[in-house]
């Protein structure tokens, strides 16, 4: 009786995952399970950023142990943070810059030895699937009423007698059995299910917004306001954000980025909450700018090494310099000889260099 109608309405629209019984009454305790992916080895930095910037308390799962000479590849480079809440997470927490992906957990368990593929598929029960779909519905747009689409993306590491395609195919058959009206769409699915299997550690979850799937990569696209075309930089943006928070620049420090590229790390620094201003160079005009004078800490970023131009621009620049260069001695004779049908036809760059090169006598 003390719980009242608000809890009854909350129980009606949320998935039951645990039961708390008392002598007087039995109430259903409802939880939303999340798995937040980040870079392995920097889980403590991500936890501190989530707690200080978003007010989210989470915990990190222990990293799987690799045998001697064994490499986990891209699957081993993922750090997993888990959080369970009675209320859905805020959009600010899901779109934190230090996260690579956010999942509504379907399965998180240790698979027993034996037939790993059959055990992984058998762990996807109807109750767990409905619980994850309700968490997905709390964040994503409503699914289309007729024939929603889905996709399975898998990352696998360790010694197994199957590959990632076999795992995706088996999980796709399990999802089709639970949702017979759904269809497969690899390019733009309504629901993307990500499966991560490292040795015997299995994680299956539904991808949550603002992350969107990519056809060419099992890991999703990381939305950033400075990536205007939706393309991924060479360094993942969440990793640059983790490095920016790990660096923790003080007031007046000058930072050097020797591998500037498209500016992933400076952009991550400029979006860091510890900074109020950023200057890409330390010129006097930049320091007089009102935004630069606005507040501390001030960070000056000097790109001492320019990014190397691409090959097409470099070749075009050489052609323009060659055309603008004055005619040298010997070019006219070569041109006249080529026009008269001499040896070799029209003049070429190699012939010009050969004609201008002085003869070397044999001193022997």
Give residue limits of the domains in the chain: 34-221, 249-281
Check the CA dihedral 78-84-89-92 and report its sign: negative
Give residue 363's pLDDT: 53
Query: DSSP letters along 127-159, please?
Result: HHHHHHHHHHHTTSPPPPSS--EEEEEEEEESS
Give the rounded percent of residues in the chain with a pLDDT score beyond 70: 66
Give residue 294's pLDDT: 42
HSE at residue 149, side-chain half, CA atoms within 13 A, is 9
**What is the average per-residue pLDDT within 187-196?**
93
Give residue 249's pLDDT: 76
Whose CA is closest to 267, among 290, 301, 315? 301
Give residue 274's pLDDT: 63
**pLDDT greater than 60 at residue 120:** yes
Q: What are 251-277's pLDDT values in tens digits?
A: 777 777 777 777 777 777 777 766 655
CB atoms within 10 A of CB 220: 22
What kind of fold does domain 34-221 have according to CATH?
VC0802-like (3.30.2130)
Give residue 230's pLDDT: 54
């Amino acid at each position: 009786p003390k719980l009242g109608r608000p809890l009854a309405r909350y129980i009606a629209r949320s998935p039951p995952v645990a039961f708390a019984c008392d002598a007087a009454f039995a109430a259903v305790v409802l939880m939303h399970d999340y798995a937040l992916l980040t870079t392995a080895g920097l889980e403590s930095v991500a936890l501190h950023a989530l707690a200080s910037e978003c007010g989210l308390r989470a915990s990190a799962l222990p990293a799987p142990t690799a045998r001697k000479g064994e490499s986990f590849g891209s699957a081993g480079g993922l750090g997993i943070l888990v959080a369970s809440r009675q209320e859905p997470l805020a959009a600010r927490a899901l779109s934190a810059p230090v996260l690579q992906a956010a999942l509504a957990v379907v399965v998180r368990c240790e698979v027993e030895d034996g037939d790993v593929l059959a055990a992984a598929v058998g762990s996807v029960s109807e109750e767990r699937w409905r619980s994850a779909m309700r968490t997905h519905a709390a964040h994503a747009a409503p699914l289309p009423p007729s024939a929603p689409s889905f996709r399975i993306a898998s990352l696998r590491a360790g010694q197994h007698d199957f590959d990632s395609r076999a795992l995706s195919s088996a999980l796709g058959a399990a999802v089709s059995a639970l949702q017979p009206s759904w269809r497969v769409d690899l390019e733009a699915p309504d629901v993307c299910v990500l499966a991560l299997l490292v040795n015997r550690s299995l994680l299956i979850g539904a991808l949550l917004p603002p992350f969107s799937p990519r056809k060419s990569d099992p890991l999703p696209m990381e939305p950033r306001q400075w990536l205007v075309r939706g393309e991924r930089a060479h360094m993942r943006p969440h990793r640059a954000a983790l490095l920016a928070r790990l660096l923790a620049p003080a007031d007046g420090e000058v930072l050097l980025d020797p591998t500037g590229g498209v500016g992933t790390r400076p952009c991550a620094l400029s979006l860091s909450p510890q900074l109020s201003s950023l200057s890409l160079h330390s010129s006097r005009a930049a320091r007089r700018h009102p935004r630069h004078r606005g507040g501390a800490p001030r960070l000056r970023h000097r790109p001492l090494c320019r990014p190397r131009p691409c090959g097409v621009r470099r070749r075009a620049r050489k052609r323009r310099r060659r055309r603008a260069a004055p005619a040298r001695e010997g070019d006219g004779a070569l041109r006249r000889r080529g026009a008269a049908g001499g040896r070799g036809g029209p003049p070429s760059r190699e012939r010009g260099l050969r004609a201008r090169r002085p003869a070397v006598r044999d001193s022997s």
